[in-house]
Amino acid sequence: MGKPTGFIEYERLSEAHDPVASRLKHYKEFVHTLNDSDAKTQGARCMDCGVPFCNTGCPVNNIIPDWNDLVYRGNWKQALEVLHSTNNFPDFTGRICPAPCEAACTLGINAAPVGIKSIEHFIIDKGWEMGWVVPLPAKSKTGKKVAIVGSGPAGLAAAQQLVRVGHEVTVFEKNDRIGGLLGYGIPDFKLEKTVIDRRVAQMEAEGVVFKTRVIVGSKDVPAGIINDATEFISAEALQKNFDAVILAAGSEVPRDLPVPGRELKGVHAALEFLIPQNKEVQQGKKNPINVKGKHVIVIGGGDTGSDCVGTSNRHGAASVIQFELLPLPPEQENKALTWPYWPYKLRTSSSHEEGCVRDFAVATKAFIDDGQGKVKALQAVRVEWQGGKMSEVAGSEFELPCDAAFLAMGFTNPVGALLDAFGVAKDARQNAKATTDGEGCYQTNVTKVFAAGDVRRGQSLVVWAIREGRQVAREVDAFLMGATTLPR
């Protein structure tokens, strides 16, 4: 906890943002971490609540009251140590996690919850500023070799945990930079890639070997998935040359929208727009999709859709509309019904605040051809929901001008060819089949092949990926050594 009466004395303070007009001119982060004084005050708001639900609301079980108290007392370095004890990458979660911990905060029952995410952001930024985040190489080597397929947060967390107990770890990534969707997918204005690069440098100093532009198992990559690979390694080669293999390749297959006109130019999967924009910002490679002066419609109301909105606004789109199939959520959740679980309510991102018309309970019926193979308009219909079933509202059809449409409806499953190459069994949703508890958890049906993160659980949050990466590392270490000292 922080100050015993702090939650009564102090109001929640959000992190400062650059004004919309200025931040739309660039792709840099525009959220400013708390200063020392404000961080102490926010830490002071942590209550002596008896049962800190924030700990279990957080997928990595961060020991939140402890580091809130340490921040309140100005013990920054110790706060960082406590934070790192459960989370390898608070610099990622402190920026892009939706903070389920705050939804579970006891203070949030009848007041604004503790600003846990902003305090986490402060702690890790202070740690880098002070030079406290350093490589932690293993004191001795085990001689065991582990291959990790995929360099997103699950793969990175597993790699760091395993290399620190002495295993030789090699991470294979099919694209030309490390990070998975952190590196290619999430816009730089939410997560500047220098944040990832400094972690990669730390891990290389600890002994992790990163190999980019390498595709594993199968060269068959579905449409809508970026692939920079110039080298191929078979599943058999990994199984032969490594003592354990972790599949952490994410859930990459985008959900499509099979309606008339889907094939028209100007209709894209979201990452076909977002990833080239990452490459333009980072490498100067021009994004082939430019929506300056165009009417943009984003289909899908989640984070990826929001990222398309923010990027379109930075291009200078003439208009941006975002469709959501589900009805408009309430502005305020029913806390008595939902707390301490993730509440159903309207969420407005910084990208929405920059300019966007949001329309709910809308289904897309068709994309209209301009006569030259390009989209010029979108046909849609209002829908209503009853008993969990959707039906179209008679006579509610409408049409909007549309020069570019981005399909941001989520991801259905990992690339099946990768799992097939290893002979890994799949669950009903076509994810890698593996349990998370009990003996043999995270192991697939194939000897010494493990699965963690979105490739196993389906599309999810970065914090869940980190959790599974840490947990699979523990299971791999126990598999290789017969016992493990890694935390669960």
Residues paired with 168 in a beta bridge: 145
Mean pLDDT of 399-426: 97
pLDDT score of 2 more than 80: no
Over the stretch 231-280, which tens digit does the pLDDT of each residue have? 999 999 999 999 999 999 999 999 999 999 999 999 999 999 999 999 99
Mean pLDDT of 19-33: 97
Mean pLDDT of 64-90: 97
Prediction pTM value: 0.96
pLDDT score of 191 more than 80: yes
pLDDT of residue 222: 87
Structure-derived torsion over alpha carbons of residues 113, 115, 116, 119, reported in degrees to the nearest 10: -160
pLDDT score of 48 more than 90: no
Mean pLDDT of 60-69: 96
Over the stretch 156-179, which tens digit does the pLDDT of each residue have? 999 999 999 999 999 999 999 999
pLDDT score of 101 more than 90: yes
Confidence of residue 112 (pLDDT cuts 50, 70, 90): very high
pLDDT of residue 223: 79
pLDDT of residue 215: 97
pLDDT of residue 226: 87
Percentage of the chain lying above the pLDDT 90 cut: 95
pLDDT of residue 307: 98
Mean pLDDT of 115-141: 98
pLDDT score of 189 more than 90: yes
Handedness of CA 78, 82, 85, 89 (dihedral sign): negative
CB-based burial of residue 288 (10 Å sphere; 0-12 exposed, 13-18 middle, 19+ buried)? exposed
Tokens representing 132 are: 């406290």
Confidence of residue 443 (pLDDT cuts 50, 70, 90): very high
- What are the structural domains, with CATH classification, of the chain? 6-130 (1.10.1060.10), 145-253+412-481 (3.50.50.60), 256-409 (3.50.50.60)
Confidence of residue 427 (pLDDT cuts 50, 70, 90): very high
pLDDT score of 1 more than 80: no
Distance CA 147, CA 241 (A): 9
Write the single-letter amino acid at 232.
F
pLDDT of residue 224: 77
Mean pLDDT of 373-385: 98
Structure-derived torsion over alpha carbons of residues 376, 382, 385, 388, reported in degrees to the nearest 10: -20
pLDDT of residue 3: 86
Q: Say if CB 97 and CB 463 are below 8 A apart.
A: yes
Mean pLDDT of 364-380: 98
Mean pLDDT of 311-338: 96
pLDDT score of 194 more than 80: yes
Mean pLDDT of 429-456: 96
Mean pLDDT of 12-25: 97
pLDDT score of 488 more than 90: no
> Cis link prior to 276 (omega < 30° from 0)?
no
Q: Which of 58-62, 171-175, 225-229, 349-353 shows the lowest per-residue confidence on average (mean pLDDT)?
A: 225-229
**CA-based nearest residue to 418, from 235, 240, 254:** 235
Work out whether strand 168-172 and strand 209-211 pair parallel, antiparallel, or are unpaired. Answer: parallel
Question: Distance between terminal CA atoms of the chain?
Answer: 24
Tokens representing 206 are: 């600890």
Mean pLDDT score of the chain: 96
Handedness of CA 17, 19, 20, 26 (dihedral sign): negative
Tokens representing 9 are: 């004395």
Residues paired with 334 in a beta bridge: none
Tokens 């989370």, located at residue: 87
Residues paired with 324 in a beta bridge: 360
